[in-house]
Amino acid sequence: MTESPPPVVIDYTREPIVVVDNLHVIYRVYGGGGGKGTAATALMRILRRQNRPQMKEVHAVRGVSFVAYRGDAIGVIGTNGSGKSTLLKAIAGLLPPARGAVYTQGRPSLLGVNAALMRDLSGERNIILGCLAMGLSPEETRAKYDEIVKFADLKPGFIHYPMSAYSSGMGARLRFAIAAARTHDVLLIDEALATGDAKFRKRSKAKINELRRDAGAVFLVAHNLDQVEETCNRVIWLDEGKIRMDGDPKEVIAAYNEAIGK
Amino acid sequence: MSHPDRVGPPGGESVDTIAEPPALAGKSAESLAEFAARHGLTQSAARPPLRTYVRELWQRRTFIWTFASAKSMSMYTSSRLGQVWQVLTPLLNAAVYYLVFGLLLGVNKGVTNYTAFLITGVFVFTFTQRSLTAGARSIGNNLSLIRALHFPRASLPFAHVLVELQQLLISMAVLAVIVLATGEPITWRWLLLVPALALQLIFNMGISLAIARVGAFVRDIQQLLPFITRAWLYFSGIFFMTASLAERDTLRDYPWVGDLLQANPASVYIELVRIALIDSYRGDLAAYGWGYAHLWWYALAWALVAFIGGFWYFYRAEARYGRG
C-alpha cells in the first residue's frame, strides 16, 4: 500500500536505550460475532478445522524498527488505529511480539489511561496494590501514599469508594498518580495528558517533565500535536502499523498535517 | 564493520529468540539485535531467568498477600449477608451432602462419626476444588492489571489460592466446633492439621499454577472444570470410606482400585485431616486393617510434584500472558 518504511541508521556515537527490531505485534480478541453462533455451526467448524470465527487476530504493528537513544523524548503520532498504543505496549513488554523483538535498558513503564486496575476495590486498595505490584516495598508504599492521593486530587471521600464508582477522568487520574509514583528507566506515556480537566493536565505535564529528567528515554503518544512538538525532540509517524516517517518534530508533523488535512 | 571490543550479552540472559534481519541501511553489517546486545539491552517481553523470577516473586510477597486479602474482602460485598457467606457456604454444602448421602442413601458404613467424617471431607476438598477454579480464571480475570503493570504473573494464581486458604481457615474453625460437638476429644494429633494443610496448600498452588496457564490460553477449560472437579469429588472418598469400598465383593478381586483411590491426592489430604481431627476415625480404619503412616509420604510427594511441575509449566509461558 504505502512506500517502504525508512531504513534504520544506527548512530554509534550515542547510547541506545530502546532498540526495536522488525517488530510485529498480533493480538487476539474474542467475541464480536461472526458465524451463526449455534452448536451445529461450531461443530462443523471444528470438523473442518477452521479457526474460531469469534477469535479475531489484529495485526496492529507490522515490521517497525528504530533505535531510541539516551535523552530522547519521542512523540508517536498517527491516526486512530495506526498502532501507536500497541507499539507502546509492546515496548513495555505487555504485549509479546509475534515476530522481531524489543530490547530495552532496564524495565520500561507504561503510563496509560486505559490501564485499569481493580475495579471492585477501593481507590485506597488500588494505590497500595499498584505500588506493591510495581515492586515498591511496603515502607515505600506507605511513604508514597499521601503523595499519590494528593496528586490524584479526588473528591473528598472517593478514595474509599470502589474504582467502579469513579468517573473515567477520576480513574485515569488515580492510575496516572499511581504509575508516576516510581522512577522509570524507560517511560512510555499514552495519552495520559489528554485525560482530566485543564487543571490536572497542567499538573501532570509538570510531573512528566520531572519524570523525564530521571528516565533514559521518554515516549509520548498524543493527538495534541502542539504538545508533541513542544515536548519531543523526535517524532515517529505510524501509519497502519508501519513507520511512515521518523525525524525532526517540525518536519514530521508538517508532513502528517498535510497527509491528513487534504 | 568489525567490533573488536564486542562482548557477549551480559549476565548470559536475553536474546533467546533470534529476530529476522531488520531493514538495515547498507552501511552497517551489525544487526539491531547485535547492536542491542552489545549495549547490554535486554528483551522487554522476554521471560526472566528462573532465579530472577523467583527473587522478583519473593519480593512481591506483600503484594500477593494484600491482593488476596483485598479480594476475599470484596468477594461478598454485593450480597446482603456479606462475609457471613464465608461460613454459610460450606455449612450449606455439608448439609446437602449429609441429607443425601448420610440420611437418604445411607453409605455411612463403617464410620462411627459420619457427620464429622463427611464435613471434613467436604471442607478439605472444597479448598482444592476452589483453588483449581480460581486458578483457571486468575489470568483471564486480571488482564487489565497484567497489561497495566509489570510483575511476575505467578503472583496471581498464588494470590487466588491464598484467598481460598483464608476461606479454608474459616471452614476449619467451623469444623473444629462440629467435631467437638459430635463428641470427639481434643488430642495432640490436632497439631498434625498444620502440616497436612500446609502440604495441601503447596499442592493446590501447584495445580492452580498449571491450570492458570491452561485457562489463560484455552478458555474452554472453564466450561470443562466443573465436570472434572465433580468427578474428582466422587472419587475422593468424601461420602464413603475408601476402605469399605475396596472391601466390597465387586472390587475384592481388583486391589489396585483401592490403592489407586487411596493415592488420589484429594483423598490423601482429606484422610490426613480426618486422622488428625477425628479420634474415632483411626479406629474405623484399623477395623479394616488400613494404616495411614504412608499417607504422609503420598502427601509430601504430591505436593512437591505438583508444585515444582506446576511452577515450571506456568513459568515457561510467562512472556505470553496477557496476549488475548
Report d(CA A155, CA B52) in Å as an integer: 41
- What is the grid cell recorded at A216? 533514559
DSSP class of B49: P
Quick check: A3 pLDDT over 70? no
| Amino acid of residue B63 | F
CATH number of the domain that residue A20 is part of: 3.40.50.300
Report d(CA A28, CA A22) in Å as an integer: 20
Residue with cell 532496564: A106
Residue B323, pLDDT score: 62
The helix or strand, by DSSP H or E, that contains position B146, with its residue range, turns out to be: helix B143-148
Set of chain B residues whose Cβ sits within 8 Å of the Cβ of A86: none
Report d(CA A218, CA B138) in Å as an integer: 32
| Amino acid of residue A187 | L
What is the least distance, in Å, from the CA of A90 to any CA of chain B? Answer: 8
Q: What is the pLDDT of chain A when averaged over all its residues?
A: 80
Tens digits of residue pLDDT in B155-193: 999 999 999 998 899 889 888 988 998 888 888 999 999
Q: Nearest Cβ partner of B39 from A15, A96, A97?
A: A15
The helix or strand, by DSSP H or E, that contains position A108, with its residue range, turns out to be: strand A108-112
Look up the domain containing A188 and give its range: 16-261
Residue B308, pLDDT score: 96
Report d(CA B310, CA B319) in Å as an integer: 16
DSSP class of B202: H
Listed range (A24-38, A213-227, B256-270) with the worst mean pLDDT: A24-38
Domain ranges of chain B: 1-46, 50-320
Report d(CA B110, CA B293) in Å as an integer: 20
3-class secondary-structure state, position B237: coil
Quick check: B252 pLDDT over 80? no
Residue with cell 474504582: A163
Q: In what order do the strands lie in the sheet with A242-247?
A: A108-112, A186-190, A217-221, A73-77, A234-239, A242-247
Side-chain-facing half-sphere of B161: CA atoms under 13 Å: 24
Report d(CA A91, CA A95) in Å as an integer: 8
3-class secondary-structure state, position A100: strand
Set of chain B residues whose Cβ sits within 8 Å of the Cβ of A45: none
**Interface probe with A: pick from B1, B16, B18, B32, most Cβ of A within 10 Å:** B32
* Residues with Cβ within 8 Å of residue B2, at least 6 apart in sequence: none
Tens digits of residue pLDDT in A17-45: 888 888 898 877 766 555 566 777 777 77
The mean pLDDT value for A77-103 works out to 85
Quick check: B131 pLDDT over 90? yes
pTM: 0.79
| Amino acid of residue B286 | A
Quick check: B35 pLDDT over 70? yes
Tens digits of residue pLDDT in A104-116: 887 777 776 545 5
Set of chain A residues whose Cβ sits within 8 Å of the Cβ of B32: 8, 10, 19-22, 65, 67, 103
Residue A54, pLDDT score: 64
Total residue count of chain A as it appears in this document:
262
Task: Name the packing angle between helices A198-214 and A168-179 (round to 10°).
Answer: 20
- What is the grid cell recorded at B149? 503493570
Quick check: B58 pLDDT over 60? yes
What is the least distance, in Å, from the CA of B147 to any CA of chain A? Answer: 5
Which residues on neighbouring strands pair with residue A187, listed in sequence order? A109, A218
Set of chain A residues whose Cβ sits within 8 Å of the Cβ of B219: 30
Residue B19, pLDDT score: 41
Set of chain B residues whose Cβ sits within 8 Å of the Cβ of A132: 60, 62-63, 66-67
The mean pLDDT value for A197-217 works out to 75
Domain presence at residue A82: yes
The winner for highest mean pLDDT among B1-15, B158-172, B255-269 is B158-172
- What is the grid cell recorded at B294? 504412608
pLDDT band at A203 (very low <50, low <70, confident <90, very high): confident
Residue B156, pLDDT score: 93
- What is the grid cell recorded at B166? 483464608
Percent of chain B predicted with pLDDT > 70: 89
pLDDT band at B14 (very low <50, low <70, confident <90, very high): very low
Residue B4, pLDDT score: 39
Q: Nearest Cβ partner of B323 from A95, A105, A116?
A: A95
Residue B193, pLDDT score: 93
The mean pLDDT value for A200-226 works out to 78
Q: What is the pLDDT of chain B when averaged over all its residues?
A: 82
Residue A229, pLDDT score: 83
Quick check: B272 pLDDT over 90? yes
Which residues on neighbouring strands pair with residue A242, listed in sequence order? A239
With left for phi above 0 and alpha for psi between -120 and 50, is residue A51 left, alpha or beta?
beta
Quick check: A216 pLDDT over 90? no
Quick check: A201 pLDDT over 90? no
Cβ contact, residue pair B32, A10, below 8 Å: yes
Quick check: A249 pLDDT over 50? yes
Domain presence at residue A10: no
How many domains is chain A partitioned into structurally? Answer: 1
Contact A65, B23 (CB under 8 A): yes
Domain presence at residue A6: no
Quick check: B98 pLDDT over 90? no
- How far, in whole angstroms, is CA A165 from its chain's centroid? 24
pLDDT band at B203 (very low <50, low <70, confident <90, very high): very high
Cβ contact, residue pair A21, B63, below 8 Å: no
